[in-house]
Amino acid sequence: MKSSYIYILTNKYRTTFYIGITANLSKRLEEHYNEAASKFTKKYNTKDLIYFEEFSDI
């Protein structure tokens, strides 16, 4: 069974949050860190992972 993840990213000052879901957490975080994931990540600099949880079904 394939795992799925929910995750929360925030910026340096913890004033903006980004909530996402993915099947490959490490790949998705790399995209965020390289600012290739979304305009939101680039605009608000939400690169600090503060929470994630694994699920068996998305």
Q: What is the pLDDT of residues 11-37, one digit of tens each?
A: 999 999 999 999 999 999 999 988 777
For residue 9, the SS3 value is strand
Mean pLDDT along residues 45-53: 95
Percent of the chain with pLDDT over 90: 74
pLDDT band at 48 (very low <50, low <70, confident <90, very high): very high
CA 38/CA 44 separation, integer angstroms = 10
Position 46 scores a pLDDT of 92
Q: Pairing between strand 17-22 and 48-55?
A: unpaired
Q: Is the pTM of this model over 0.85?
A: yes
Query: What pLDDT sits at residue 20?
Result: 95
